[in-house]
């Protein structure tokens, strides 16, 4: 029986008690290697970040098996079978290859026969990819967390193991996960706080392999070396923008939305792109053509605990500044947990980077191929400038730097686009009205 059909069959014909009966009558069956299926986006390998099961654990379909991290996103792998976990093929931080077994699962006998039939069918029709293959992989954010029964602290077995090995009471760890779940990063932060500098000294000579997000950065930045960058910078007076934001950010805070400058910069980019669609585009080197994209999917360079990652806010042309803020907040929350799913990372059409949260003025931003342009802003600084009749006045200046692919974009286009962006950033009311 087709796996999806079998699952539907189990759902529709088995009442909960029947399902329980099936599990309770578990008998030894065939051991199947559960392979890492194709995650898409050309991902060939992933790093195993966390196991949610251990040998001897009973699993049901859709139970979490492990969390893996590709160079683009974090993915939770779930079980496709009911059965007993026999072997884990990787240790934490090992690199797993697509197509190779992740775990061996001893099947429940009833399903054993069906799996054999499916495998036979698959061999006969290898091009037919069962829907359950795709259903077994969920972006981390759509996987349900466990239940907090009897006031127990929520944590995965991996986190519990770290707590046990380091003699930590999980109740002492500040949780940041959903429903108060203690995440791995929480316990690591707790440990770091406990051992502080000693741990850093111990690590000072450590060799760190380039993995995950950094691996993606390696690829994209190496690719960017072949792009002739045209870079252009300017200063913007953001005094009015600062007053405008000050007026509304309190009210939004009460609604749980953090309004920084970024949503204004993103909206200004989208408004300016309406006039310069050549900059919201993908370059196809092979066919030497540029595709202007209708959607403004603005990529945001984001600093996360695992390094640089660049998710994008989709269809900014249809979003208000507040909606952009809400979406940015969501991406930042996921970024903090290194849990950004592929859907948030792929499809960007134009990029903005705000290194001004750390400092700096002018940059030479690096283009994120196949995009053709990127902007980077520095830190807002209060500086003296000449006003009317040569009086010296204090202004709040933001420096912005743009890079464009000079094979397909000329300097004048970049300068005109920058002027348009500056017009919106300097006049937030006109930005909000789109004038
Ligand atoms: N100048 C002055 N203050 C700034 C600022 C700037 N350019 N940018 C942000 N701030 C302020 C914000 O307004 C916020 O203050 P409030 O609490 O008063 O609102 C504070 O700094 C922190 O902002 P934030 O970082 O939480 O949020 P953001 O929307 O401004 O930026 C993001 C989001 C994702 C761009 C940022 O968090 C980040 O990761 N920056 C690093 C990007 C990066 O790595 N660039 C390099 C790419 S190449 O390696």
Per-residue tens of pLDDT for the chain, all 435 residues? 333 333 222 222 233 332 322 233 344 578 999 988 877 777 888 899 899 999 999 998 888 899 888 887 788 888 888 889 999 999 998 999 988 999 999 987 644 444 444 444 333 333 333 333 332 333 333 237 333 333 468 887 778 878 877 778 888 888 888 778 888 888 888 887 765 554 454 566 778 778 778 888 998 999 999 999 999 999 999 999 999 999 999 999 999 999 999 999 999 999 999 999 999 999 999 999 999 999 999 999 999 998 999 999 999 999 999 999 999 999 999 999 989 999 999 999 999 999 998 999 999 999 999 999 999 999 999 999 999 999 999 999 999 999 999 999 999 999 999 999 999 999 999 999 988
> How do the domains of the chain map onto residue ranges?
32-108, 147-211, 227-433
Atom of ligand 1 nearest to the CA of 353: 45
Task: Check for a shared fold between 147-211 and 227-433.
Answer: no
Of 2, 278, 406, 423, catalytic? 406
Give, using CA atoms, the residue closest to atom 49 of ligand 1: 308
Tell me, in angstroms, the distance from the centre of ligand 1 to residue 355's CA.
7
Q: Do β-strands 83-88 and 58-59 pair in parallel, antiparallel, or remain unpaired?
A: antiparallel
Instruction: Show the tokens assigned to 206.
Output: 């450590």
Q: Which of 354, 365, 395 to mutate to test the pocket of ligand 1 (most atoms within 8 A of CB)?
A: 354
Give, using CA atoms, the residue closest to atom 11 of ligand 1: 357
Nearest to 183 by CA among 211, 213, 158: 158
Q: What is the CATH number of domain 227-433?
A: 3.30.559.10
Architecture of the domain defined by 32-108: Beta Barrel (2.40)
Q: How crowded is residue 304: how many other Cβ atoms within 10 Å of its Cβ?
A: 17
Instruction: Show the tokens assigned to 381.
Output: 């600084």
Atom of ligand 1 nearest to the CA of 377: 7
Q: Residues with Cβ within 6 A of ligand 1?
A: 260-262, 300-303, 308, 328, 332, 353-357, 377, 379-380
Phi, psi of 93 (to 5 degrees): 75, 0
Q: Catalytic site residue 410? A: yes
Nearest to 377 by CA among 363, 387, 388: 363
The CA–CA distances, whole Å, from 121 to 46, 52, 116, 289 equal 28, 31, 8, 43
Atom of ligand 1 nearest to the CA of 304: 39
Task: Write out the CATH class of domain 147-211.
Answer: few secondary structures
Tell me, in angstroms, the distance from the centre of ligand 1 to residue 302's CA.
9
Tell me, in angstroms, the distance from the centre of ligand 1 to residue 157's CA.
35
Cα dihedral 173, 178, 179, 183 in deg (nearest 10): -30
């Amino acid at each position: 029986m087709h796996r999806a059909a079998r699952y539907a069959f189990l759902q529709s014909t088995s009442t909960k008690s029947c399902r329980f009966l099936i599990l309770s009558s578990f008998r030894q069956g065939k051991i199947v290697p559960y392979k890492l299926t194709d995650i898409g986006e050309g991902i060939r390998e992933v790093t195993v970040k966390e196991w949610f099961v251990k040998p001897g654990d009973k699993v049901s379909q859709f139970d979490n098996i492990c969390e893996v991290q590709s160079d683009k996103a974090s993915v939770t792998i779930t079980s496709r079978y009911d059965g007993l976990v026999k072997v884990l093929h990787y240790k934490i931080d090992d690199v797993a290859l697509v197509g190779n077994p992740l775990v061996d699962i001893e099947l429940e006998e009833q399903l054993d026969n069906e799996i054999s039939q499916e495998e036979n069918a698959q061999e006969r029709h290898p091009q037919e990819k069962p829907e359950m293959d795709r259903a077994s992989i969920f972006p981390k954010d759509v996987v349900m967390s466990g239940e907090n029964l009897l006031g127990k602290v929520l944590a995965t077995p991996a986190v519990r193991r770290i707590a046990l090995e380091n003699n930590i009471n999980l109740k002492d760890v500040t949780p940041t996960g959903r429903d108060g779940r203690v995440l791995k990063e929480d316990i690591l932060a707790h440990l770091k706080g406990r051992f502080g500098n000693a741990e850093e000294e111990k690590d000072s000579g450590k060799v760190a392999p380039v993995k995950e997000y950094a691996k993606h950065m390696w690829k994209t930045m190496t690719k960017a070396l072949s792009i002739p960058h045209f870079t252009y910078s300017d200063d913007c007076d953001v005094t009015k923008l600062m007053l405008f934001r000050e007026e509304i950010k309190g009210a939004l805070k009460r609604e749980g939305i953090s309004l920084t400058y970024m949503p204004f910069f993103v909206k200004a980019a989208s408004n300016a792109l309406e006039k310069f669609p050549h900059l919201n585009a993908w370059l196809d080197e092979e066919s030497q053509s540029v595709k202007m994209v209708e959607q403004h999917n603005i990529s945001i360079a984001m600093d996360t605990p695992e390094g640089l990652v660049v998710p994008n806010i989709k269809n900014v042309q249809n979003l208000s500044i507040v909606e952009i803020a809400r979406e940015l907040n969501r991406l930042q929350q996921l970024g903090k947990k290194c849990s950004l799913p592929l859907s948030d990372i792929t499809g960007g059409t134009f990029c903005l980077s705000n290194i001004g949260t750390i400092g700096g003025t002018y940059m030479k931003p690096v283009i994120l191929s196949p995009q053709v342009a990127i902007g980077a802003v520095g830190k807002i600084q209060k500086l003296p400038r000449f006003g009317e009749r040569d009086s010296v006045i204090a202004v709040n200046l933001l420096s912005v730097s743009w890079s464009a692919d000079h094979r397909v974009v000329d300097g004048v286009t970049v300068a005109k686009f920058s002027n348009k962006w500056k017009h919106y950033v300097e006049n937030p009311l006109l930005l909000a009205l789109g004038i």
